[in-house]
Chains A and B, each alone.
Chain A
Amino acid sequence: MTQAIPARVRASAPAERFAAIVGEPFATPAGSADRVDGIAPRIVVRPASVDEVRAVIRTCGDLGLALVPTGLGRHLDVGAPPERCDVLLRLDRLGGILDHQPADMTATVAAGCSIAVLREALARHGQWLAVDPPCPEATTVGGMIAANLSGPLRASQGAVRDLLLGIEIVAADGALVRGGGRVVKNVAGYDLPKLHVGALGSLGVVVSATFKLRPRPPLERAIAVDCEDLDQAALVALAVRDALDPLWLAIEVPAESEGHPAPAASSAAARAIVGVAGIAAEVEDAVMRVERVAGVRGLASHPIAGATAVREDLASFPLRPAAAVLRASTLPGSVAACSRALVDAAASEGTRVAILADVATGVLRALVPAPRAVAPLVRRLRPALVAGGGYLVVERASPVVKQLLVGDADAWGDVGGGLELMRGVKTAFDPARLLSPGRMPGGI
């Protein structure tokens, strides 16, 4: 069906050609909700099989139409605005867990399967995919890979790249290309899967992926240490990192403003929050060590009920209401200074930011409430961070804000030496610039 498109169809309008592939109900004119960073596609196409994805992409190639892949549309605000978007390729019908071998601790999952569905299936076997992207119900496996989403678990379990064993993508010419494999250790050929992590679909459309799973720890606990300021919170977090193996480790700085008093739980100026996991003896010991780290500094620590829910809540931090989410990366030891710079810069722009920092990885996020403050903040903060070897990106922003992110305040900033190679990779993989054009750094 996908190979031989009748001449009658070939000559017809794009909508009809896509309808001939996926069926009329699944090739529909785009509405305002389908905009990508404010740019309206002409049509939304929802293929139900890998063959249909291939046919759709070949058709896009024939007609010179640019496409942006998406799952459930929840993370389309990540990245720079596409330079063109004719087709929104929704992969939500490409669902299902294709293969789960509990005893091998691997799972192969279709791109459109939601993280929540996957999680539930794995939990029945006492396992998990140890990545906790925001909003698992509305996040697909493909979206998690394309946008390189993760949550607090990254501190100890690694990011998507560390758990992705294999991938199947549909390339710009419609070819089905496989990289990696289904076994937990494999160095045959180039590690193509890693290239697609965080690539926002610009090198190919992910249709399935194989992951390394882990046994889910029997117990999980969360402990908070209320601190006087964020410098102290960062010191406490680093001391915790050195005293035990936390499951995750964050510092949180609430944006306290007159209009929105902070809730009682976060009345401290900043707090360090620690997740620990393991068997009972390990968890008890870890909690005691966190208490000791706090105690020697004269700080109170207290357990927070519902550790998993606490972690999920922190995971969803980037989706809290804001005009933009800034993501700064620095070294673990510089998290406090970086957070301080963010808070101060926000103050001089007349706004307040909420910050959540992963002290283990040195990656922090700030929610900026005021749309007009975003670009000035980026201009103010980026040079110093970059000079120190770090990065500042606008991870998410509303379409209005993105329009203002131009020049030295663009969403990504300067990526440095690798840019030429990255452009080369894009040109080699997608010479006609059909796949998410413009969404990656440097206009890639």
Chain B
Amino acid sequence: MSTSGLAQRLRAVVGDDAVVDRREALLVYECDGYTLERAAPDLVVLPRTPEEVAAVVRLLAADGIPFVPRGAGTGLAGGTLPVAAPVMVCTSRLTEIESVDVRNRRVVAQAGVVNLKVTRAVEGEGLLYAPDPSSQAACTIGGNAAENSGGPHTLKYGVTVNHVLGVELVLPSGDVVALGGAVEDRPGYDLVGVVVGSEGTLGIATRLVLRLTRAPEGHRTLLAVFDSVDDASEAVSGIIAAGIVPAALEMMDRLILQAVEAAFRAGLPVDAGAVLIVEVDGPAAGLDEHARSVADVCLRHRAREIRRARDEAERALLWKCRKRAFGAVGRLAPNYCTQDGVVPRTRVPDIVRAIAAIGERHALRIGNVFHAGDGNIHPIILFDERDAGEVRRVLAAGEEILEACVALGGSLTGEHGIGVEKIRQMPLLFSPDDLGWMVRLRSVFDPEHRANPHKVLPDAKVCVEARAPRRQAAM
């Protein structure tokens, strides 16, 4: 498994400028959006084409070298942190949109295409690519497929797996296999369905066939202002229970409102307990009525004010506040850690209360900005990484929040993935048999477990050893 001489051989395949092995240059790759643990790979390879990816992986296979796939590195669960994998294979240079088929509503995009660019390429035709993670201006289609990413509008439109029809996958052996495709109902098992969301543990997706969606004819975007998070959470349950399916239903609490307002000056009510951003979209004919129904439910749940985005600029500003809230929080503390848990949507009030109690217990400031309509919470824990004690409390609080989600009947992750962050908690959700079957599936694609090893599936033997030093390093 030695990497000596490997850089040389990789350069022969992908060129000098596509292999990074200088220590300082490697630091860029030591973490993704999850910064609590860091580890730089020995080598980073930046192939330019799907064919080069396959050639690189074949080379690694010949020497039995484990590797970590990486897109733009915006992941939030440490999915691209190298754990006993010396080589990182980045797909960020695979940036070609290979074909746009408006009539059939299909796009073939290479893995490194930035999410937003797909929609940009087709919006003139009245189409869009529905999954819209908050990081969509930076994250890649390949990374989205690995994590099965969501976004605010997945409440109505579904997550990545609902919009990926085909995946060209470089298997850990270096063999290339085309799964699914532009045409639906390929006979046999739904391998696209399991590859999407497998966090790079089954291989590296290099080309993806995406389904496009007809762009909605219009939107009505409301900002409902509440005195308390409780009232806002109950309004969320009320909207869902009333049979309304908004395109998006997002919550921001006071801490987040203050950070976002300081950053973007959008005129948000910084004294509110929480706000909901509710967007209804679809046929123009029903928009006003749906918006009215939403407003009625919010008022019944003690909304003190309902604001309506009057034009596209106001709507864009609201979404900027929401989608860039994570960044805005950077003003409040030197570091922050975003959690990702799910509860049944009616349990949003319970989990928000639980988060507040956990924050209090660990003396941590926690903000909430999340996909309330899906019950997909994103508490943001503020801290200072120079304070080792505080870092330990952040980790403990994060784990307690996820335990609370599972106890309420939810899940450890709604859209960020397990990565390294939540791997030890998988047994809370799955029995040894459940996990054993996942290992069997993995072994079909990757018998030697060389693709993104020690992710997703807990492996008691290796994981504990591999993780402990980095935890300390982070602290």
Contacts and interface: CB of A to CB of B under 8 A. Distances in A.
Interface in B328-379: 342-346, 371, 374-376
Contacts of B32: none
Contacts of A427: 444
B280 to A, nearest CB: 11
A281 interface: yes
Contacts of B159: 185, 187
A199 to B, nearest CB: 6
A199 B345 CA distance: 31
B434 A286 contact: no
Contact of B188 (A101, A181, A444): A444
B5 to A, nearest CB: 32
Interface in A346-370: 361-363
Interface string A208-231: 000000111000000000000000
B418 interface: yes
B214 A103 contact: no
A238 B103 contact: yes
Q: Which of A105, A181, A185, A421 has the most CB of B within 10 A?
A: A185
A192 B437 contact: yes
Q: How large is the interface on B (under 10, 10 to 19, 20 to 34, 35 or more residues)?
A: 35 or more
A422 B188 contact: yes
B270 to A, nearest CB: 29
Contacts of B240: 103-105
B283 A185 contact: no
A186 B413 contact: yes
A366 B344 CA distance: 42
Given A175-B433, A363-B184, A162 B412 contact: no
A237 to B, nearest CB: 12
B413 to A, nearest CB: 5
A182 interface: yes
Contact of A183 (B158, B244, B286, B342): B342
A393 interface: yes
Nearest to B431: A178
Interface stretch (B20-28, B46-54, B173-181, B253-261): B173-181
Specify which of A191, A329, A389, A391 lies most central, judged by the most chain B CB atoms within 10 Å of its CB: A191
Contacts of B440: 428-429
B382 to A, nearest CB: 25
Contacts of B457: 189
Contacts, number: 245
Given A184-B345, A245-B214, A418 B437 contact: no
Interface stretch (A35-43, A110-118, A266-274, A330-338): A330-338
Given A187-B413, A281-B285, A428-B444, A418 B178 contact: yes
A440 B245 CA distance: 37
A198 interface: yes
B183 A178 contact: no
A88 interface: no
B410 A183 contact: yes
Given A103-B346, A177-B434, A418 B162 contact: no
A271 to B, nearest CB: 22
A185 B441 CA distance: 22
B194 to A, nearest CB: 5
Contacts of A186: 342, 411, 413-414
B237 interface: yes
Nearest to B192: A194
A422 B414 CA distance: 27
Contacts of B456: 189-190
Contact of A194 (B186, B193, B438): B193
Interface of A: 101-106, 126-127, 158, 161-162, 171, 175-179, 181-192, 194-195, 197-199, 203, 214-216, 238, 241-242, 244-245, 278-279, 281-282, 284-286, 327, 329-333, 361-363, 389-391, 393, 412-413, 415-422, 424-425, 427-429, 440-442, 444
8 contacts: A103-B346, A185-B374, A186-B413, A188-B430, A192-B441, A215-B244, A245-B282, A421-B445
